[in-house]
């Protein structure tokens, strides 16, 4: 499978690191408007995941990594990218700028076989969460949205608990700061997002409710969500407060997720009773890690705490999607 990455931000660069030596994937090209020398530097040195062990050298507009040569483009217009000439099977669209059907289709018009977004796409693109509804993917589907890191965390939790019955759910995602926040106070349409990210706990608006109601139509009007950005560079804690239809015990809830982690959700969901902090989940490949030590139940009210690495866990699912698409043909 021949892959190209469009957009070399946090997700694009982490995908590069993880795919460049993948045995089933050939990474043939990347595209970003930054200076190629700067790109090579940021691929080599990362403040969250450390120094990349492989040598990354820029030569003649190609990145040389472990004997592999990856073409580097600086083209803001995807219609001018040579995906047809490079025989690109899948473009990983990681800019966040081409997340509707019309925008993502430009890659197809340039010769790519398929497009996998790195975000929740617009309503006209299928929202497919790996481990939940990937089986609905048909071979002729050419643009896929795998959701976002928060959707990938939440979907599996809600699906499992819906077997008990959910009357309502409130989600607060305590999330590391992101590039869409400011380092120092600055103007922003969402005033709080413009405040210095490393200095405050900052509530921000998110569209998680919309995504979850799309995946669970029967839960329309039963979901509310907010993200609280905290001054760390990586990691997230998802705080679920649910009113259930039936009374359950803490032990029953924990056993439910312990069993799921060992069976049908193995590799997607993890269960732990270790006393974790956010740093401990850096580099964790699961979409969600249920912390059984923090489960509490009062009557029909459940408080469930989960962790996830918002970058590494998410890129793990994107790589799962590539393997699944390869098998599907």
CATH number, domain at 278? 3.30.360.10
**Residue 323 belongs to a domain:** no
Is 128 within a domain?
Answer: no
Q: Average of pLDDT values for 153-170? A: 97
Question: In this structure, are 86 and 170 located in the same domain?
Answer: no
215 in any annotated domain? yes
The answer, yes or no, to whether residue 15 has pLDDT greater than 90, is yes
Return all residues near 189 (Cβ < 8 A) that are at least 6 apart. Answer: none
* Active-site choice (90, 149, 153, 290): 149
pLDDT value of position 328: 85
Helix axes 149-161, 250-262, angle to 10 degrees: 120
Task: From 26, 80, 38, 36, select the one nearest 61 (Cα to Cα).
Answer: 36
Domain assignment present for 91:
yes
Domain that holds residue 279: 149-309
What is the number of domains present in the chain? Answer: 2
Among 74, 97, 118, give the residue marking a domain's end: 118
The helices-and-strands tally (H runs, E runs) of the chain is: 7, 16
277 and 168 in a common domain:
yes
pLDDT digits (tens, 9 = 90+) for 248-306: 999 999 999 999 999 999 999 999 999 999 999 999 999 999 999 999 999 999 999 99
Task: Sort strands 90-93 and 68-73 into parallel, antiparallel or unpaired.
Answer: unpaired
In a domain, 179, yes or no: yes
Is residue 149 among the annotated active site residues? Answer: yes
The verdict on 6 and 61 lying in the same domain is yes
**Residues near 309 by Cβ (< 8 Å), separated by ≥ 6?**
234, 235, 236, 281, 282, 283, 284
Q: Identify whether residues 180 and 296 lie together within a single domain.
A: yes
68 - beta bridge partners?
Answer: 65
Establish if 135 belongs to a structural domain. no
CATH of the domain at 85: 3.40.50.720
pLDDT at 9 over 80: yes
Is there a domain that residue 329 lies in?
A: no
- Residues 46, 162: one domain? no
pLDDT in tens, 91-148: 999 999 999 999 999 999 999 999 999 999 999 999 999 999 999 998 889 999 999 9
Percentage of the chain lying above the pLDDT 70 cut: 100
CA distances from 109 to 80, 84, 142, 270, 300 (A): 10, 9, 12, 40, 52
Pairing of strands 301-308, 296-298: antiparallel
- Confidence label for 55 from pLDDT (cuts 50, 70 and 90): confident
């Amino acid at each position: 499978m021949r892959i190209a990455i469009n957009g070399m931000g946090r997700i694009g660069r982490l995908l590069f690191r993880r795919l460049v030596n993948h045995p089933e994937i050939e990474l043939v090209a990347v595209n970003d408007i930054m200076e190629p020398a700067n790109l090579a530097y940021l691929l080599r040195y990362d403040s969250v995941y450390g120094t990349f062990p492989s040598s990354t050298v820029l030569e003649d507009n190609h990145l040389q990594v472990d004997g592999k040569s990856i073409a580097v483009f600086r083209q803001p217009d995807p219609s001018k990218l040579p995906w047809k000439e490079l025989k690109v099977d899948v473009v990983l669209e990681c800019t966040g700028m081409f997340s509707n059907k019309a925008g993502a289709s430009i890659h197809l018009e340039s010769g790519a076989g398929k497009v996998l977004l790195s975000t929740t796409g617009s309503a006209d693109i299928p929202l497919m969460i790996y481990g939940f509804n990937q089986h609905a993917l048909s071979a002729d589907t050419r643009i896929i949205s795998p959701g976002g890191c928060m959707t990938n965390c939440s979907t599996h939790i809600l699906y499992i608990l819906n077997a008990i019955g959910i009357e309502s759910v409130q989600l607060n995602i305590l999330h590391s700061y992101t590039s869409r926040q400011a380092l120092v106070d600055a103007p922003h349409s969402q005033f709080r997002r413009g405040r210095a990210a490393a200095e405050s706990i900052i509530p921000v608006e998110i569209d998680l409710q919309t995504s979850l109601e799309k995946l669970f139509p029967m839960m329309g009007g039963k979901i509310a969500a907010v993200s609280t950005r905290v001054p760390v560079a990586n990691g997230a804690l998802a705080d679920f407060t649910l009113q259930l239809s039936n009374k359950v015990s803490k032990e029953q809830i924990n056993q439910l997720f312990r069993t799921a982690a060992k069976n049908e959700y193995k590799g997607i969901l993890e269960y732990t009773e270790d006393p974790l902090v956010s740093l401990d989940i850096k580099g964790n490949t699961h979409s969600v890690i249920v912390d059984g030590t923090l489960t509490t139940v009062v009557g029909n009210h459940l408080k469930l705490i989960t962790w996830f690495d918002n970058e590494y866990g998410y890129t793990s699912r994107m790589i799962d999607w590539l393997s699944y698409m390869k098998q599907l043909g």
